[in-house]
Amino acid sequence: MSGKTEKRGGSKVIKKLIEMNKGEKGRVISIHGGRGKILRLAEMGITPGEEIVLIQKSFGPVIIRVKDTNLALGKGLAETILVEVSDNGKN
Amino acid sequence: MERIKIRVALVGNPNVGKSTVFNQLTGLNQHTGNWPGKTVEKKIGYVNKDKYILEITDLPGIYSLTANSLEEVISREFIIKEKPDIVILIVDASALERNLYLLSQLRELTPNIIIGLNMIDILKMKKYKLDIKKLEERLKIPIIPTIASKGIGLDELVNKVIEVYEEDNLNPIGIHYGDLEEDIKKIEEILPENLEGYPKRWIALKLLENDPIIIDLCKNNLSKEDWEKIKEIFEKNENNPIKVATARYNFIKKVLEGVLEKPEKQAISWTEKLDEYLTHPFWGSIFAILIVTLIFYLSFTLNDLLSEPVDGLLSLIGDKLSSLLFFIPNWWRELLIEGVWQGVATILSFTPLITIFFFFLALMEGSGYLARLAFVSDGLMHKLGLHGKSLIPLVISFGCNVPGVMATRTLEDEKDRILLIILDSFIPCVPRILVASFFLSILFSKTSYFFLLYFLIFHKLLLYIY
Which residue of chain A has the CA closest to B285? A58
Write out chain A's pLDDT in tens, 91 residues: 433 444 445 567 899 999 999 989 999 998 888 777 888 888 888 888 889 999 998 888 899 999 888 888 888 888 999 999 986 655 4
Task: With CB atoms and an 8 Å threshold, state whether A39 touches B66.
Answer: yes
Amino acid letter for position B309: P
With CB atoms and an 8 Å threshold, state whether B241 touches A47: no
Q: ipTM value of the model? A: 0.79
| All structural domains of chain A | 6-86 (2.30.30.90)
| Cα angle B96, B100, B104; round to 5 | 165
Q: Which of B64, B242, B382 sits opposite A47 (nearest CB)?
A: B242
Residue B211 to residues B67, B73, B84, B108, B218, Cα–Cα distance (Å): 6, 11, 23, 15, 11
Alpha-carbon gap, residue B315 to B178, rounded angstroms: 74
Contact indicator for B415, B448 with CB cutoff of 8 Å: no
Could you tell me if B54 and B8 are in contact, meaning their C-beta atoms sit under 8 angstroms apart? yes
Q: Which residues of A touch B275 (CB under 8 A)?
A: 55-56, 70
Name the residue facing A68 among B95, B374, B376 (closest C-beta).
B95
Q: What is the pLDDT of residues A60-79, one digit of tens each?
A: 889 999 988 888 888 888 89
Helix (H, G, I), strand (E, B) or coil at B236: coil
B289-308: burial string, b at 16+ Cβ within 10 Å, e else: eebbeebeeebbebbeebbe
Rounded to a whole number of angstroms, the distance from the CA of A47 to the nearest CA of chain B is 7
CA-CA distance, B378 to B390, in Å (whole number)? 8
DSSP H or E segment with residue B274: helix B270-278
Is the Cβ–Cβ distance between B452 and B428 less than 8 Å? no
Q: Are B182 and B153 in contact (CB under 8 A)?
A: no
- Per-residue pLDDT at B145: 95
Which DSSP category does B59 fall into?
P
The Cα of B242 is separated from the nearest Cα of chain A by a number of Å equal to 6
pLDDT for B411 = 67
Q: What is the pLDDT of residue B69?
A: 75
CA closest to A49 among chain B residues: B246
Q: Which residues in A lie closer than 8 A to residue B14 (C-beta atoms)?
A: none
Interchain pair B246, A42: CB under 8 A: yes
- Residue from B118, B209, B11, B216 nearest A43 by CA: B209
Which of A38, A44, A68 has its CB closest to that of B241?
A38
Q: How many Å is the Cα radius of gyration of chain B?
A: 27
Q: What is the pLDDT of residue B412?
A: 61
8 Å CB contact of B63 and A68 = no
Chain A nearest C-alpha distance from B96 (Å): 8
pLDDT reported for residue B138: 93
Q: Which residues of B touch A (CB under 8 A)?
A: 63-64, 66, 68, 94-98, 101, 209-210, 238, 241-242, 245-246, 249, 275-276, 279-281, 284, 371, 374-376, 378-380, 382, 387-388
CB-CB under 8 Å, B241 with A42? yes
Kindly give the parts of chain B with pLDDT less than 50: 29, 31-39, 466
Closest CB from A36, A38, A58 relative to B379:
A58
Q: Where are the beta strands (DSSP E) in B127-279?
A: 129-130, 143-145, 260-261
Please state the separation of Cα B118 from the chain's center in Å.
Answer: 18
Q: Least CA distance to B128: which residue of chain A?
A: A68
Q: Give residue B462's pLDDT.
A: 57
pLDDT in the model for residue B33: 40
Q: Which of B64, B94, B280 sits opposite A43 (nearest CB)?
A: B64
pLDDT in tens, B184-223: 999 999 988 878 888 899 999 999 988 888 999 999 988 8
pLDDT value of residue B368: 78
Which of A43, A46, A55 is the mutation pick for testing B, counting most B CBs within 10 A?
A43
Judging contacts by C-beta atoms under 8 Å, the chain A residues touching residue B210 are 35-36, 39
Burial of B89 (0-12, 13-18, 19+ CB in 10 A): buried
* Residues of chain A neighbouring B93 (CB-CB closer than 8 A): none
Calculate how close chain A gets to B290, using CA atoms only, in Å: 18
Question: How far is Cα B427 from Cα B395, in angstroms, rounded to an integer?
Answer: 9
Which of A45, A55, A70 lies closest to B249 in CB terms?
A45
The whole-angstrom separation of Cα B207 and Cα B126 is 39
Q: Could you give the angle at the alpha carbon of B34 between the alpha carbons of B30 and B40, nearest 5°?
A: 60
Cα B241 to Cα B69: distance, rounded to the nearest angstrom: 17
Of residues B66, B98, B241, nearest to A67 (C-beta): B98
Smallest CA-to-CA distance from B154 within B295, B25, B283, B38 is with B25
